[in-house]
Amino acid sequence: MAGHTLLTRIRHPELAIARRQVSDSEIRDSILDNLRGICSTRNGSTPACPEYGLVDVSELIHNFPDAIAMMARSIRNSITRYEPRLTNVVLKHVPSETGDLTLRYEIIGQVVGGDGRNKVRFETHIDPSRKIGVD
The domain that contains 48 carries what CATH number? 3.10.450.40
In a domain, 111, yes or no: yes
pTM score = 0.80
Q: How many domains does the chain have?
A: 1
**Per-residue pLDDT, 90:** 94
Where does the chain show beta strands of DSSP type E? 86-94, 103-113, 116-126, 132-134
pLDDT tens for each residue of 46-104? 888 888 888 887 777 777 778 889 889 999 999 999 999 899 999 999 988 777 778 89
Q: Which of 72, 88, 79 is nearest to 126 (CA)?
A: 72
User: In percent, how much of the chain has pLDDT > 70?
Assistant: 90
In a domain, 1, yes or no: no
